[in-house]
Amino acid sequence: MRTTRALFAQGILSTLPFLMMVGPFGVLFGVLGTEAGLPIGQVLAFSAVIVAGAAQFTALSLMEDSAPAIICILTALAVNLRMAMYSATLAPFLGKAPFWQKAFMAYGLFDLNFLMADAKFREEIAWTAPQRAAYFSGTAIVIIIIWIAATYVGTLLGQALPDWLALDFALPLSFIAMVAPGLRTIPHVVGAAASVVFALLLAFLPFGLGLLCAAVIAIVLAAETERRLS
Amino acid sequence: MNYTDTTIWAIIAAIGVGSWAMRYSFMGLLGGRDLPGWVLRHLRYTAVGIIPGLVAPIVLFPAATDGMIDPTRLVAALVTLGVGIATRKIFPAIIAGALALALGLSI
């Protein structure tokens, strides 16, 4: 039986290679935040308090347009609504952890470690609740530190950053790479295809709600496909 | 940008607290309770239901090219997808996609 300490270390180690992807995205936020005229302290606070790329970029671009504060807040939160779905998905695996640990894991719940944990927990069905929580805490701590550190690097670089680095594309590529190996059954393929099609069709909806509706449709279609096939 | 310092801090705090609450929500409130089979069946597809839809507009209409379709990014995304499906491994897929992107951007 592996100790929780060993699984915490495994969580840290298995997240490290993804720094190549999360790092550039954080750097990009630091660059854009500084360009938008925010002082370094506030750019860093964005990354340290919110810890969510898409929501931060959304809030920042609305703030650049001087949108009302309440609109910035509600739109960024709508973009982050998918985190509630991640929370529900991980609940059966992590729900038994003590409050303080769940509070910490919630703080460090990212798309990236959600994808890692979702795949890992289904593979390692023998892991106990404390083992899963230890693994996830390991992934979370790495992401939080790197996210803030990368943002700081971005504030220092500012406009010195050349376009050809294509920083915008590192994270999307890694998301594709993380989902692709999971497209191993018909329901998974149906879900992925529906997600793409409906996200594009519903892109006109405000506040990023198109993605959310597309996700619900895709999940229901995938689950229904599984039910009919079994 | 046209806000007082206090407003900016309030925006950061509100988004931070709200995001944390959403992340904590089900994990915290459901505890270790067993969920019915049909719920678990749906939750198996959360990742595959969200991520492709999150990525698709970024791939097709990248902000870096002002929303115009960019063949380089499109090809890099398809290479990543193809290698990921073929090898069932994450890192070969990322490396192949990054190479395709670097190659495309350099020509």
Q: What is the pLDDT of residues B26-78, one digit of tens each?
A: 999 988 788 899 999 999 999 999 999 999 998 998 877 888 889 999 999 99
Average pLDDT over residues A208-224: 93
In the predicted model, is pLDDT for residue A161 greater than 70? no
Residues B15 and B56 in one domain: no
Q: Is residue B39 part of a domain?
A: no
The count of other CB atoms within 10 Å of the CB of residue B50 is 29
How do residues A86-118 score in pLDDT, each as one tens digit? 999 999 999 999 999 999 999 999 999 999 999
Q: Out of B19, B48, B62, whose CB is closest to A179?
A: B48
Q: Is residue B87 part of a domain?
A: yes
Chain B stretch 9-38, residues whose beta carbon is closer than 8 A to a beta carbon of chain A = 9-16, 18-20, 22-28, 30-35, 38
Alpha-carbon distance of A169 to B94, in angstroms, equals 11
Q: Is residue B101 part of a domain?
A: yes
Q: Is residue B6 part of a domain?
A: yes
Residues B55 and B82 in one domain: yes
State phi, psi for A124 to the nearest 5 degrees.
Answer: -95, 70
Quick one: pLDDT at residue B105?
86
Residues B28 and B59 in one domain: no
Complex ipTM: 0.89
Residues B91 and B58 in one domain: yes
B103 touches chain A (CB under 8 A): no
- Picking from A11, A28, A3, the residue whose alpha carbon sits closest to that of residue A167 is A28
Residues B102 and B56 in one domain: yes
Contacts of B91 in chain A (CB under 8 A): 17, 177
Q: Is residue B26 part of a domain?
A: yes
B69 touches chain A (CB under 8 A): no
Residues B53 and B20 in one domain: no
Q: From start to end of chain A, where are the E strands?
A: none
Q: Is residue B41 part of a domain?
A: no
What total of structural domains would you count in chain B? 2
**Domain of B68?**
48-106
Q: Which residues contact A125 (CB under 8 A, 6 or more apart)?
A: none
Chain A stretch 116-175, residues whose beta carbon is closer than 8 A to a beta carbon of chain B = 118-119, 122, 129, 163-164, 166, 168-170, 172-175
Measured between CA atoms, how close is A6 to chain B, in angstroms? 23
Instruction: Assess contact for B101 and B86: CB atoms under 8 A.
Output: no
**Residue of A179, A188, A220 to mutate, interface with B, max B Cβ within 10 Å:** A179
**Amino acid making up residue B105:** L
Contacts of A183 in chain B (CB under 8 A): 48, 84-85
B6 touches chain A (CB under 8 A): no
Q: Which residues contact A47 (CB under 8 A, 6 or more apart)?
A: A26, A29, A30, A56, A147, A148, A151
Q: Is residue B98 part of a domain?
A: yes
Residues B67 and B18 in one domain: no
Residues B23 and B55 in one domain: no
**Amino acid making up residue B79:** V
**Amino acid making up residue B67:** G
Percent of chain B with pLDDT over 90: 72
Alpha-carbon distance of B23 to A88, in angstroms, equals 9
**Residue of A71, A137, A173, A207 to mutate, interface with B, max B Cβ within 10 Å:** A173
Instruction: Assess contact for A139 and A117: CB atoms under 8 A.
Output: yes
In the predicted model, is pLDDT for residue A6 greater than 90? yes
**Alpha carbon distances (Å) from B51 to A30, A42, A120, A201:** 24, 29, 17, 16
Q: Out of B14, B26, B52, whose CB is closest to A88?
A: B26
The count of other CB atoms within 10 Å of the CB of residue A109 is 28
In the predicted model, is pLDDT for residue A66 greater than 90? no
Q: What is the 3-state secondary structure (H, E, C) of chain B?
A: CCCCHHHHHHHHHHHHHHHHHHHHHHHHHHCCCCCCHHHHHHHCCHHHHHHHHHHHHHHHCCHHHCCCCCHHHHHHHHHHHHHHHHHCCHHHHHHHHHHHHHHHHHC
How do residues A168-204 score in pLDDT, each as one tens digit? 788 889 889 989 998 989 999 999 999 999 999 998 9
Q: What mean pLDDT value characterizes chain A? A: 91
**Alpha carbon distances (Å) from B99 to A107, A132, B58:** 33, 34, 19
Rounded to two decimals, the pTM is 0.88
